[in-house]
Amino acid sequence: MEGYLIIGLGRFGKSIAKTLYNHNKTVLGLDIDEEIVQQVIDNEIISEAIVIDATNENELKKIIDDDFDTAFVCIGDNIQVSILVTLILKELGVKTVICKAKTKMQGKVLEKIGASSVVYPEEAMGEKIALNVLQSNITEYFKFSDKYGIFEFKAPKSFIGKNLMELDLRKKYGINIIVIKSENKEINFTPNPLTVIEENDTLFAMAEQEKMSFLSNII
């Protein structure tokens, strides 16, 4: 069964849980703090949450069974606990374990003991805020690897009435327009070279991080 286990219901854990739950996924939240668990349920962030010490292998095993393929370990503040919980999850056969970390060293340790991937939410948020200040014409920025990002921005006047072939952004700047959202909220997920940019269109561009300055200059 495709289920998602969220261990640690702090701000980061709740954000992940709520997003998955709002996409109609099976989500179970775990936290050692009874008050936090109750708040999550009362606020309808997710429908199911349990008070449990996730370092207790026997208790965790009863919950996991075969119902959860993916687990998020959102215990970044307590390094020892995050490491222990990650080890237990891997031993219990959870296929994908995604861990929160506060430092690169913590992240390296988590990767070595079997974490499928490690995220650094504070670092990512700090970078995102700084980029939004530096590049105020870019309304949103998503980093999905160390090299590439997706940038959301309103179509500049110089783009209006031109098609993607005429703009030739890929050749000129190494920038690919991958999605176009029109003013009436219609979304074109597969824009072709002859797609014409219209006024008030929102564009989503994929580019290398270092190309961001070029993107900022042309918009």
pLDDT, tens only, 167-198: 998 888 888 898 898 887 688 988 999 999 99
In the CATH scheme, what architecture does the domain 3-120 have? 3-Layer(aba) Sandwich (3.40)
CATH 3.30.70.1450, domain 134-216, yes or no:
yes
Residue ranges of the chain assigned to CATH 3.30.70.1450: 134-216
- The beta-strand segments (E) located in 57-193 are 70-73, 96-100, 117-119, 140-143, 148-154, 176-181, 187-188
pLDDT for the residue 143:
58
Rg (the chain; Cα; Å)? 21
Span(s) in the chain for CATH 3.40.50.720: 3-120
53 in Cβ contact with 43 (< 8 Å) = no
List pLDDT tens digits, range 16-25. 898 888 888 8
pLDDT digits (tens, 9 = 90+) for 138-159: 555 555 556 677 777 888 899 9
pLDDT of the residue at 125: 55
The pLDDT of residue 133 is above 60: no
